[in-house]
Amino acid sequence: MKIFQTLGAIVVNGLERVGRAALFLYEVVSGSWVLLRRFYLVIQQVFAVGVLTLLIILVSGLFVGMVLGLQGYNTLVRFGAEDSLGLLVALSLVRELGPVVTALLFAGRAGSALTAEIGLMKATEQLAGMEMMAVNPVTRVIAPRFLAGVAAMPLLAAMFSAIGVMGGQVVGVGLLGVDSGAFWSQMQNGVDFHDDILNGVIKSVVFGIVVSWIAVFEGYDAVPTSEGVSRATNRTVVYSSLAVLGLDFIMTALMLGEV
């Protein structure tokens, strides 16, 4: 009996939290229009969540691209198709690895930082203080961070893919001797703007919204203690990663239309 009770409580609590998160998102989005007049607040946050995440994105992108070059060449060369290496690297990055790996790194670097920052502001009564000064913290603190996350994610994913292609080229053309002309022209012919690039961008925008949403909500909803903030940070990374991977499957299925 007790098991069912506990199970029921977990489900009810979970649903309640999802409901609160949805209302919170509505509040954030509907409070965002005020920021049109104070756009510098968003710009500051784009620096914090975007520019400061750039290094890890670029380094990871480079290595992912180089590994793709190695692995792709090894498989393709068996069929004598190593000229298609550029196409393989570019498609893998633009369609899948770019948005997904960027979102995972973004959740780990920027998402966790957002949650910790907002959670600590709550724990130290900064958010309550703001409310007592008749300033809505959702508009002043949360909305700029959310918008910055949404704006930064697609840009980071694009840079990840771009530098990944360079990494693939360094390994494929530079080390393994694939023909440079073939590498680029196959890529140019095979990558479709609508089917590949645009779908990748859509994915990265969706991931940006989801990861930023989870990060700011977890921070705002954190229990205002050291333990509460650390748990919230933890949850941001876990939930964001799961959400990104799950949504990736759904979106890929919809985009390919084959399931």
Partner 1 sequence: MSAPAAVPSRDNLVEIRDVSFKYGTRTILANLSATIARGKITAIMGGSGCGKTTLLNLIGGRIRPSQGQVIVDGINVPDLGKKDLFELRKRMALLFQTGALFTDLSVFENVAFPIREHTKLPEPLLRHVVLMKLNTVGLRGARDLMPSELSGGMARRVALARAIVMEPMMIMYDEPFTGLDPISKGVIAKQIRELNDALGITSIVVSHDVVETCLIADYAYLMGDGRIIGEGTPAEVQQSKSEYVRQFMDGLADGPVPYTYPARPYLDDLLGGGGP
Per CB under 8 A, the segment of 56-64, 75-83, 135-143, 176-184 that binds partner 1 is 135-143
Per rule CB under 8 A, count of chain residues that contact partner 1: 13
Binding of partner 1 by 36 (CB under 8 A): no
- For 240, half-sphere exposure in the C-beta direction (CA atoms, 13 angstrom radius) is 35
185, exposed or middle or buried, with CB in 10 Å at 0-12, 13-18, 19+? middle
Per CB under 8 A, the segment of 10-18, 97-105, 128-136, 180-188 that binds partner 1 is 128-136
Residue span 106-125 as binding mask against partner 1, x where in contact by CB under 8 A, dash where not = ---------------x--xx
Binding of partner 1 by 13 (CB under 8 A): no
- The Cα-based distances of 27 to 133, 144, 152, 173, 208 in angstroms read 19, 13, 21, 51, 18
67, exposed or middle or buried, with CB in 10 Å at 0-12, 13-18, 19+? middle
Q: How far is the CB of 89 from partner 1 (least distance, A)?
A: 41
Binding residue (CB under 8 A) for partner 1 from 109, 140, 145, 235: 140
Binding residue (CB under 8 A) for partner 1 from 126, 185, 230, 252: 126
Binding of partner 1 by 27 (CB under 8 A): no
Per CB under 8 A, the segment of 13-21, 130-138, 185-193, 243-251 that binds partner 1 is 130-138
Q: How far is the CB of 37 from partner 1 (least distance, A)?
A: 11
Binding of partner 1 by 180 (CB under 8 A): no
Residue span 48-67 as binding mask against partner 1, x where in contact by CB under 8 A, dash where not = --------------------
Binding of partner 1 by 34 (CB under 8 A): no
Footprint of partner 1 (CB under 8 A): 121, 124-126, 128-129, 131-136, 140
